Chain A
Amino acid sequence: MNIKVVSRILEANDRLAEDNRKIFRDSNVYVINLMSAPGAGKTTLLERTVSGLSGKKKIGVIEGDIATDSDAQRIAALGVPVVQINTGGACHLDANMIREALSGLPLKDMELLFIENVGNLVCPAEFDIGENEKVMILSVTEGDDKPLKYPLMFERASALVINKIDLLPFVDASVQKIREDSLRLNPGMRIFEASAKTGSGLQPWFEWLNQKGK
């Protein structure tokens, strides 16, 4: 017997993501799902962002990595609440992992929650975790061909931080090409050019974040 069962394969994840979204909304917490390849500078950008928004936004962080809590230690050193998720091999965070991590965070005392996803340009794009926005980082050392090679994440992110611009003299990447290809995939994308290491170019990013949840 043939039965029709049309349903999204990830419906269980999507349902949990909606639950998370309701929890965040009820606590007035705006959530950013931060995604990039490994080594693009997610944690360094977060360190800068915590300092840059100090006194303006109450921030919390969930760190996702396959193993180790070294990222969480870096964030904890700045005095903001942080929970480390170790996926134990999984290449992305899913809604259930976030749900479990929430018990370790004082949501009532937070306004902006960053969820640093596992470093990976493919898989995290597919999984809704209950965020308000997906934001991605592409560092110029990765090459300017990445938007067209990994289109899904560029399509789904509402903003892109082009990072490590201090290294532009040493690499062949064209920021112009990254911009053009990203906007071709996602015409509404907000694009920042910055160096999380030196801090240059970050002011517009801070201002953009400061408007979130208002």
Chain B
Amino acid sequence: MHEASIAESLIELAEKHLREGNHSAVSSVTVRIGRLSGVMPDALLFAFEALKGGTPLEGATLLIDVIPQGGMCKGCEKEFSFDGPYISECPLCGGAEFSVTRGRELEMTEMEVA
């Protein structure tokens, strides 16, 4: 449900970048949403479509890059991917010291403007 607030923030953020760059129209906005971010891409898309009317983003398409979960192990020093909400050990070497490096993204990355 908080996707509506996130879509609202995204539209405001895009408007700010449009103003700062003196752009008049925008045809697409691209965001990166990590699978661990708690945001559902479909719900964000729905909210964006519902809220963009009457804003400079009225004609814009929202493009969502879904970022899968990933981590970096301190033991074997390799990068790995994983599914699900959490892991308790490195899936490659079983080590307990690792950091989650991908999957928490909630950011705007680019816009196609005129």
What secondary structure prevails in chain B residues at the interface with A? mixed
Q: Is B13 touching A184 in the complex (CB atoms < 8 A)?
A: no
Q: Is B85 touching A148 in the complex (CB atoms < 8 A)?
A: yes
Residues of B within 8 A of A9 (CB): 6, 9-10, 13, 31, 106-108
Q: Is B13 touching A12 in the complex (CB atoms < 8 A)?
A: yes
Expressed in whole angstroms, the Cα–Cα distance for A123 and B47 within the complex equals 15
Q: Is B38 touching A5 in the complex (CB atoms < 8 A)?
A: no
Band of interface residues on A:
20 to 34
User: Chain B 33-62, CB within 8 Å of chain A: the 1/0 string?
Assistant: 000111100000000000000000000000
Expressed in whole angstroms, the Cα–Cα distance for A185 and B85 within the complex equals 9
Expressed in whole angstroms, the Cα–Cα distance for A123 and B39 within the complex equals 9
What secondary structure prevails in chain A residues at the interface with B? mixed
What count of chain B residues pass the 8 Å CB interface test? 29
Expressed in whole angstroms, the Cα–Cα distance for A7 and B17 within the complex equals 10
Total A-B pairs, Cβ < 8 A: 86
Nearest CB of chain A from residue B35's CB, rounded to whole Å? 11
Expressed in whole angstroms, the Cα–Cα distance for A10 and B1 within the complex equals 15
Residues of A within 8 A of B14 (CB): 5
- Known interface pairs A1-B113, A3-B110; 18 further A-B residue pairs with C-beta atoms within 8 A, sorted by A's residue number: A1-B23, A3-B17, A3-B111, A5-B14, A5-B17, A6-B107, A7-B108, A9-B106, A9-B107, A12-B9, A12-B12, A126-B2, A151-B36, A151-B85, A151-B86, A152-B37, A152-B38, A184-B86
